Amino acid sequence: MRKALAILLAFLTPLSSQQVGQNTATQGQPTFQSTTQLVIETVVVKDKNGNPITGLTAKDFTITEDGVPQTIRFFEYQKLDESAPVQPIAETVHIEPYARLTKSQIAPEPPGDLRYRDRRLLALYFDLTAMPVSDQLRALSAAKKFLRTQLTTSDLVAVMVFQGGAVQVLQDFTNDRARLLSTIETLIVGEDENAPLEADTGAAFGQNESEFNVFFTDRQLAALQTAATMLGRLNEKKSLIYFASGLRLNGTNNQAQLHATINAAIRAGVSFWPVDARGLVAQAPLGDATQGSPGGLAMYTGGGAAARAANLQRSQDTLWTLGADTGGKALLDSNDLSAGIVQAQKSTLSYYILGYYTTNANPDGKFRKIKITLNNDTAVNLDYRQGYFASKKFNKFTTADKERQLEDALMLGDPITELTIAMEIDYFQLNRAEYFVPIAVKIPGSELALARRGGADHTLIDFIGEIKDSYGTTVSNVRDKVDIKLTGATAAELAKRPIEYDTGFTLLPGKYKIKFLARDAETGRIGTFESPFIIPNLNKEEQRIPISSVVLSSQRADLREALFNAKDKAQAILVNPLVQDGLKLIPSVTRVFSQKKDMFIYLQAYQQTAEPAQPLLAFVTFYKGQSKALETTPLRVSDSLTNRLKTTPIKFTFPLQKLQTGEYTCQVTVLEPKTRKAAFWQSQILLIP
* Residue after which a domain boundary falls, among 540, 575, 599: 540
**Distances from the Cα of 527 to the Cα of 139, 254, 340, 463, 551, angstroms:** 34, 11, 34, 10, 24
Helix-strand-coil split of the chain, %, nearest 5: 20, 35, 45
Cα-Cα-Cα-Cα torsion 373, 379, 383, 385, nearest 10 degrees, comes to 20
Range of the domain at 55: 11-21+32-79+352-389
The CATH number of whichever domain residue 295 belongs to comes to 3.40.50.410
Least confident residue range of 202-211, 256-265, 438-447, 483-492? 202-211
Residue 677 lies in a domain: yes
CB burial readout 59-91, b (16+ within 10 A) else e: ebbebebeeeebebebbbebebeeeeebeebee
Do 570 and 589 have their domain in common?
A: yes
Do 522 and 403 have their domain in common?
A: yes
Number of CB atoms found within 10 A of residue 33's CB: 9
Residue 5 lies in a domain: no
Question: What is the total count of domains within the chain?
Answer: 4
Do 531 and 602 have their domain in common?
A: no
Q: Which residues contact 196 (CB under 8 A, 6 or more apart)?
A: none
CA gap 658, 321 in Å, rounded: 42
Do 268 and 322 have their domain in common?
A: yes
CA gap 99, 105 in Å, rounded: 19
**Residue 294 φ/ψ, nearest 5 degrees:** -75, 160
Q: Residue 254, CB half-sphere, CA atoms under 13 Å: how many?
A: 30
Q: List the one residue out of 584, 580, 576 whose CA is nearest residue 549.
A: 576
How many residues comprise the chain? 689
Residue 105 lies in a domain: no
Do 284 and 324 have their domain in common?
A: yes
Do 204 and 341 have their domain in common?
A: yes
Do 215 and 284 have their domain in common?
A: yes
Helix (H/G/I), strand (E/B), else coil: 551:
strand
Residue 3 lies in a domain: no
Number of CB atoms found within 10 A of residue 596's CB: 11
Do 470 and 618 have their domain in common?
A: no
Helix (H/G/I), strand (E/B), else coil: 483:
strand
Please compute the mean of the pLDDT values over residues 76-83 and round it to a whole number.
Answer: 75
**Residue spans of beta strands (DSSP E) within 403-559:** 422-425, 428-429, 435-443, 458-469, 474-485, 499-507, 510-520, 525-535, 551-558
**Residue 550 φ/ψ, nearest 5 degrees:** -105, 125
* Residue after which a domain boundary falls, among 317, 333, 348: 348
Do 677 and 688 have their domain in common?
A: yes
Residue 91 lies in a domain: no
The CATH number of whichever domain residue 689 belongs to comes to 2.60.40.2550
pTM: 0.66
Residue 112 lies in a domain: no
Task: Say which residue, 211 or 438, is predicted with more confidence.
Answer: 438
Do 192 and 231 have their domain in common?
A: yes
Do 372 and 341 have their domain in common?
A: no
Residue 138 lies in a domain: yes
Are 5 and 325 in contact by the 8 Å Cβ rule? The answer is yes
Residue 488 lies in a domain: yes
Task: Say which residue, 309 or 227, is predicted with more confidence.
Answer: 227
CA gap 326, 267 in Å, rounded: 10
The CATH number of whichever domain residue 448 belongs to comes to 2.60.40.3880
Give tens-digit pLDDT for 198-216.
333 333 333 334 555 544 5
Cα angle value 498/501/503 (rounded, 5°) = 160
Give tens-digit pLDDT for 285-344.
665 555 555 555 555 566 666 767 777 777 788 889 899 888 889 988 888 898 889 888
User: Is the pLDDT reported for residue 140 higher than 60?
Assistant: yes
Do 559 and 602 have their domain in common?
A: yes
* Residue after which a domain boundary falls, among 481, 505, 540: 540
Q: Which residues contact 373 (CB under 8 A, 6 or more apart)?
A: 61, 62, 63, 382
Cα-Cα-Cα-Cα torsion 484, 489, 491, 494, nearest 10 degrees, comes to -80
Residue 632's pLDDT is 92
CB burial readout 325-334, b (16+ within 10 A) else e: bbbbbbbbee
What's the mean per-residue pLDDT of the chain?
Answer: 78
Give tens-digit pLDDT for 446-485.
777 666 666 667 778 889 999 999 988 889 988 888 887 7
